[in-house]
Each structure stands twice: as structure tokens, then as C-alpha cells.
């Protein structure tokens, strides 16, 4: 997935990466290996 390449690119530069959405909600363990923080379920 392209978003994983993008997240790793920015993490290498020292940026804090946050992910959310359906994929993250249903597979949080996988998402945490590609981001610093995740948002699950509904968020406003």
C-alpha cells in the first residue's frame, strides 16, 4: 500500500505519523507498526 511507504518516509524524517480510518480500526496492530499513533472508530 502506498500509504505505508509515505508514512515510513515521514517517520524517517522525524515527523509524528497518525493514521485512522476503516483499515486502522479493523487492523490496529498492523497500523501501529507503520505509525506513531492511531485513531480507531469514529472521530470528529
What's the predicted TM-score (pTM) here? Answer: 0.77
Compute the distance between CA of residue 23 and CA of residue 12 in angstroms, rounded to an integer: 23
Q: What is the pLDDT of residue 38?
A: 95
Does residue 8 contact residue 28 with C-beta atoms inside 8 Å?
Answer: no
Q: What is the pLDDT of residue 42?
A: 82
- Check whether 1 has a pLDDT greater than 80: no
Compute the distance between CA of residue 21 and CA of residue 14 in angstroms, rounded to an integer: 23
- What is the grid cell recorded at 9? 518516509
Structure confidence by residue, pLDDT tens digits, 5-41: 999 999 999 999 999 999 999 999 999 999 999 999 8
Q: What is the pLDDT of residue 18?
A: 95
Amino acid at each position: 500500500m502506498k500509504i505505508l511507504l509515505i508514512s515510513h518516509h515521514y517517520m524517517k524524517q522525524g515527523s509524528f505519523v497518525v493514521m485512522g480510518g476503516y483499515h486502522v480500526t479493523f487492523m490496529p496492530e498492523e497500523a501501529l507498526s507503520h505509525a506513531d499513533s492511531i485513531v480507531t472508530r469514529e472521530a470528529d
